């Protein structure tokens, strides 16, 4: 291992504070990763644009099905790779562009975990909105566990559920605060929005890092100074 235990608590303010500090240490790499992610999202935006055309209603499968396939099998795994890049950043590790494609080492588990996680959250949303929000908070660590810890889908679901005991409310508050940060970013236009998204991702990654450090502390002899 090449990172140390988190020196901050898994609290909203601490995670946003640590995330803000760490994104600047790998700003260029994280910025490029974000830009590449946006480029991969272009096809989805294209499908959405076509969805607004009358032609869609006569040829729905031509657009909806390809969009779903692309979203599940390409865009979602890359987005989880982006989470991993931010996790490395908040742990004080060197971030590389290739980190956003780390999902290729565990691709099958990533796809299965993504589908299973969203199915559980979707069921919660169908029952009532509040259970869906709770499920989303309890499963927020799944992307990190599948890619960073190389867990299979079921183990990641179970582990995230147990890891978030005592932290689910803080994860929820990170999401609530993210809304206002995003609005603030939009006020200062494109650059501000990009930095806002980077900050939010870093805060969530910091939450996982802090909780993981408490549950699975790194042996001092295995670490190198990370921050």
Q: What confidence tens digit (pLDDT) does each residue in 70-85 have?
A: 889 999 999 999 999 9
- Provide the residue range defining the domain that includes 130: 12-212
Q: Per the domain annotation, does 134 fall within a domain?
A: yes
In SS3 terms, the chain reads as: CCCCCCCCCCCHHHHHHHHHHHHHHHHHHHHHHHHHHHHHHHHHHHHHHHHCCHHHHHCHHHHHHHHHHHHHHHHHHHHHHHHHHHHHHHCCCCCCHHHHHHHHHHHHHHHHHHHHHHHHHHHHHHHCHHHHHHHHHHCCCHHHHHHHCCCCHHHHHHHHHHHCCCCHHHHHHHHHHHHHHHHHHHHCHHHHHHHHHHHHHHHHHHHHHHHHHHHCCCCHHHCCCCC
Q: What pLDDT is recorded for position 47?
A: 64
Q: What pLDDT is recorded for position 148?
A: 97
Percent of the chain with pLDDT over 90: 73
Q: Per the domain annotation, does 45 fall within a domain?
A: yes
Q: Per the domain annotation, does 121 fall within a domain?
A: yes
Check whether 109 has a pLDDT greater than 60.
Answer: yes
Q: Per the domain annotation, does 79 fall within a domain?
A: yes
Average predicted confidence (pLDDT) for the chain:
89
Q: What pLDDT is recorded for position 40?
A: 92
Q: What pLDDT is recorded for position 225?
A: 44
Q: What pLDDT is recorded for position 223?
A: 45
Average pLDDT over residues 190-209: 93
Q: What pLDDT is recorded for position 208?
A: 98
pLDDT tens digits for 18-64? 999 999 999 999 999 999 998 998 887 666 555 555 555 555 566 67
Average pLDDT over residues 198-211: 98
Q: Per the domain annotation, does 4 fall within a domain?
A: no
Range in 59-63, 86-90, 93-97 the model is least confident about: 59-63
Q: What pLDDT is recorded for position 189?
A: 72
Q: Per the domain annotation, does 225 fall within a domain?
A: no
Average pLDDT over residues 129-142: 96
Q: Per the domain annotation, does 139 fall within a domain?
A: yes
Check whether 226 has a pLDDT greater than 50.
Answer: no
First-to-last alpha carbon distance for the chain, in angstroms, is 14
Counted domains in the chain: 1
Q: What pLDDT is recorded for position 58?
A: 53
Q: Per the domain annotation, does 135 fall within a domain?
A: yes
pTM: 0.89
Q: What pLDDT is recorded for position 218?
A: 84
Instruction: List the one residue out of 119, 168, 165, 112 whose CA is nearest residue 140.
Output: 168
């Amino acid at each position: 291992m090449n990172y140390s235990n988190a020196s901050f608590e898994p609290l909203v303010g601490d995670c946003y504070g640590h995330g803000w500090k760490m994104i600047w240490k790998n700003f260029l790499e994280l910025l490029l990763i974000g830009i590449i992610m946006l480029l991969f999202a272009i096809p989805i935006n294209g499908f959405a644009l076509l969805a607004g055309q009358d032609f869609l209603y006569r040829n729905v499968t031509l657009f909806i099905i390809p969009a779903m396939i692309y979203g599940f099998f390409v865009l979602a795994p890359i987005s989880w790779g982006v989470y991993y890049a931010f996790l490395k950043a908040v742990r004080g590790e060197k971030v590389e562009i290739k980190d956003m494609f780390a999902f290729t080492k565990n691709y099958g588990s990533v796809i299965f975990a993504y589908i299973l996680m969203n199915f559980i959250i979707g069921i919660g949303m169908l029952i009532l909105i509040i259970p869906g929000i709770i499920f989303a908070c309890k499963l927020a660590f799944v992307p990190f566990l599948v890619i960073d810890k190389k867990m299979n889908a079921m183990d990641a679901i179970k582990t995230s559920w147990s890891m978030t005991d005592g932290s689910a409310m803080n994860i929820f508050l990170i999401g609530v605060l993210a809304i206002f940060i995003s609005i603030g970013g939009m006020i200062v236009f494109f650059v501000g929005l990009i930095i806002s998204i980077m900050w939010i991702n870093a805060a969530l990654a910091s939450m996982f890092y802090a909780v993981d450090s408490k549950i699975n502390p790194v042996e001092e002899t295995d670490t190198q100074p990370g921050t």
